Structure 1
Amino acid sequence: MTQISHREKRIINTSWAGVAVNLTLSAFKAATGLIANSIAIVLDAINNLSDAFSATVTIIGMKVAGKPADKEHPYGHGRAEYFTAVIIAAVIIVAGVTSFIESTKKIIHPEPAEYTTATLIVLVTAILAKIFLGRWVKKVGEEVNSESLVATGADALFDALITSATLVAALCGLFFGDKIDKIPIDGILGALISLVIMKAGYEMIMKPINELMGERIPAGLTKAIKADICMIPPVLGTYDLQLHNYGPEQIIGAVNIAIPEEMTAKQIHVLAQKIKETIQEKYGVLLTIGIYAVITADREIVQMQESITSMVEALPGVLQAHGMFIDMENKRLSFDIVIDFSVKDIPALKKTIAEGIEKRFPGFSVQVHIDKDYSD
């Protein structure tokens, strides 16, 4: 049996606590809403019930995500957490749409609500419970790097605000009584709550979808990794860093490094291992290392490299030129360019570059390899 990780254990235990609190709140709110004939309180109870379901889905998702890698899933099951988040957000959106429909009916055909002091006590208790739960869950989520827990905590704090709106309706009903019977405050607040729920659900569903579609890795991480690699001698430059997210704790990628051409295979092997170990230990990122050999001793070649690099990087849409190799004997040169996503006509750009180089250095054949702007 696979031993459960400390992170997984904390997420599951926190989610179970959320289930217990939300089921309790849902029961009390449902009873209070039915007695008071308040659609806003009933909808709030339904929202708590969906929160309990969401926490349960989080637990199931963590169980799946925690499974070890196998032949069918060699990179592990970490992305299950993102699917879990999508399911939770979809449930929230459906709940919001349903609530909006019921609230609209209440506005069109209003019925007076009957609020009591007991109603207020239940609502105030629910608000305090949600604030405590939300802050605690969000804190745990940040500590264990769990987007689902952070979102759940934020959602709980948001629920506290929504319940506060319901409390306003209850106070109005309690203090003004028959004077506002013809004003569908309950339905209006219910509709507003529904819109807020739908908006929150949309925002929540987009983040895991973007993760699954290959969202750009945060610049802070990619820049830090490149900087750390460049600090390891004799690395001359770091290029083409690509990182793929297979879950909150599983990032795999590749990077090319520029090194002096005179290095031996043994020296390159030792250097590559050092880089891999350093980055994995510090960031938990598993890298494959590629090599660019840089000629530094031949002054003529160095000047050609600098001239071509300067010319190419001055072109619109070209972010960087690197990996240049010049074969003086056979009159061949090749290099990579990183282009902006705004560049649409890539063949035309390559033709412009080749013609410019051939004009400045006649007799050379030119190969230009295109790299996308994968990372900052």
Structure 2
Amino acid sequence: MADTHKQSLTAIWVSLISNIVLTAMKLAAGLVFASPVLLADGVHNAGDIIATVAALTSSMVSKRPADEDHPYGHGKAEVVASALVAVILALAAFWIGLQSIRALFEPAEGESVLALGAAFISLIWKQALYVYTIRIGRAAKSKSVLATAYDHLADVYASLAAVVGIGLAVLGDHFDWAWAAYGDPLAGIIVSLLVMKLAFQMGRESVDILMEKNAAAEKIEAYQNIILAVGHIKRIDRIRAREHGHYITVDVRVGVPGDFTIQEGHDISREIRNRIMEADPDVIEVLVHLNPWYEGE
């Protein structure tokens, strides 16, 4: 657990430093070469810095142990950060789309080969960051690292649009293609829709967890099978499971023979808890309530 947390923090720190460097590079290139698409991408990257700082902070907070004020731990801090990243992505998508539509009605501007090079470097860099962070996020089951990875994916889309748009503009200047200068805003509109879709998916998942939606049906079914395999379990009256960021808590009510002693009931509860936690390392707590069962029910 400590190793995965360390890897998660390292991934977020790498992302933060990369976003700062890429933001400076894009804004400088955009100003020097008068490239609207690079300036827009640079402003988008500036928003990524805020998102990455939120992910870094939430990742550190989420690993704090449970206390008197937060008896279920601090895991949902990562979910809050994920929701914040979704909002930032949605705003960025709206802004990119708005700027792209506006550019369609303005005189097209020429682009520089050096600006194309800056956009291409950003594309490769962001793709590498996405692959790196998505692997770490899935291994650590960290919502904040996964949010950072999806943020990088949105940047891959934006950088790809910049490469296509600037590339078409450069070719248009060389071959005298007047229409090619509008490849940038058209690509930007497509990217804004892709980023908005990504933001919606992230936001919906975060809201589901914050509203304590039940865990996936496959997990619930797996827990049921584990419980029914425990001796003396006559029925499952209720089973619920909820995510708290990178871990899960399970709440079950089962029927056992009404003439069992307290010790026998305690042993059954402990066995249910141990079996579920052994089968699913994501589960950190299983609350078991025993109901009496009598022959003929």
Q: 1:67 aligns with which of 64, 69, 74?
A: 64
Task: Report the structure, 1 or 2, having the larger helix content.
Answer: 2
Cα distance, 1:254 vs. partner?
Answer: 2.3
Q: Give a deviation string over 1:300-319, Cα, whole Å, max 9, x none.
A: xx3xxxxxxxxxxxxxxxxx
Q: Give a deviation string over 1:310-368, Cα, whole Å, max 9, x none.
A: xxxxxxxxxxxxxx4xxxxxxxxxxxxxxxxxxxxxxxxxxxxxxxxxxxxxxxxxxxx
* 1:114 alignment partner, SS class: coil
* 1:179 alignment partner, SS class: coil
Q: Aligned AA for 2:37?
A: A
Structure showing greater Rg: 1
Q: Does 1:197 align with 2:195?
A: yes
Task: Report the structure, 1 or 2, having the larger strand content.
Answer: 1
Partners of 1:209 and 1:137 in 2: CA distance: 22
Cα distance, 1:182 vs. partner?
Answer: 8.6
Equivalent in the alignment of 1:347: none
Partners of 2:97 and 2:3 in 1: CA distance: 40
Instruction: With the length of structure 2 as denominator, give the TM-score of the two structures.
Output: 0.88
Partners of 2:153 and 2:245 in 1: CA distance: 26
Q: Does 1:124 align with 2:120?
A: yes
Cα distance, 1:218 vs. partner?
Answer: 0.8
User: What is the aligned residue count?
Assistant: 293
Equivalent in the alignment of 1:157: 153
Equivalent in the alignment of 1:243: 241
Contact preservation (8 Å) 1:110, 1:182: no
Q: Aligned AA for 2:215?
A: I
* 1:11 alignment partner, SS class: helix
Partners of 2:119 and 2:29 in 1: CA distance: 9
Q: Does 1:166 align with 2:165?
A: no
Partners of 1:150 and 1:57 in 2: CA distance: 13
Equivalent in the alignment of 1:288: 287
Partners of 2:180 and 2:293 in 1: CA distance: 81
Equivalent in the alignment of 2:257: 260
Q: Aligned AA for 1:266?
A: Q
Partners of 2:120 and 2:65 in 1: CA distance: 44
Q: 1:223 aligns with which of 221, 224, 230?
A: 221
List gaps (5 residues or longer) in structure 1: 297-301, 303-323, 325-376
Contact preservation (8 Å) 2:252, 2:289: yes
Answer with 10-19 or 252-261: which moved more. Answer: 252-261
Q: Does 1:232 align with 2:211?
A: no
Cα distance, 1:145 vs. partner?
Answer: 0.4
Equivalent in the alignment of 1:84: 81
* 1:184 alignment partner, SS class: helix
Partners of 1:90 and 1:22 in 2: CA distance: 18
* 1:87 alignment partner, SS class: helix
Q: 1:168 to 1:190 in 2, by over 3 A?
A: same
Q: Aligned AA for 2:226?
A: D
Contact preservation (8 Å) 1:36, 1:113: no
Contact preservation (8 Å) 2:164, 2:183: no
Q: Aligned AA for 2:250?
A: G
**RCO (CA 8 Å, sep 6+): is it higher in 1 or 2?**
2
Q: 1:288 to 1:203 in 2, by over 3 A?
A: closer
Equivalent in the alignment of 2:96: 99
Q: Aligned AA for 1:174?
A: V
Q: 1:274 to 1:179 in 2, by over 3 A?
A: closer
Q: 1:35 to 1:291 in 2, by over 3 A?
A: same
Q: Does 1:147 align with 2:147?
A: no
Cα distance, 1:137 vs. partner?
Answer: 0.5
Cα distance, 1:176 vs. partner?
Answer: 2.0
Partners of 1:171 and 1:290 in 2: CA distance: 64
* 2:256 alignment partner, SS class: strand
List gaps (5 residues or longer) in structure 2: none
Q: How does 1:215-364 map to 2 (within 5 A)?
A: 215-249=213-247, 251-283=248-280, 284-296=283-295, 302=296, 324=297
Q: 2:133 aligns with which of 126, 132, 137?
A: 137
Task: Report percent identity of matched pairs.
Answer: 22
Partners of 2:34 and 2:186 in 1: CA distance: 15
Partners of 2:32 and 2:189 in 1: CA distance: 20
Q: Give a deviation string over 1:21-65, Cα, whole Å, max 9, x none.
A: 122222222222233332222222222222232111101112222
Q: 1:189 to 1:286 in 2, by over 3 A?
A: same
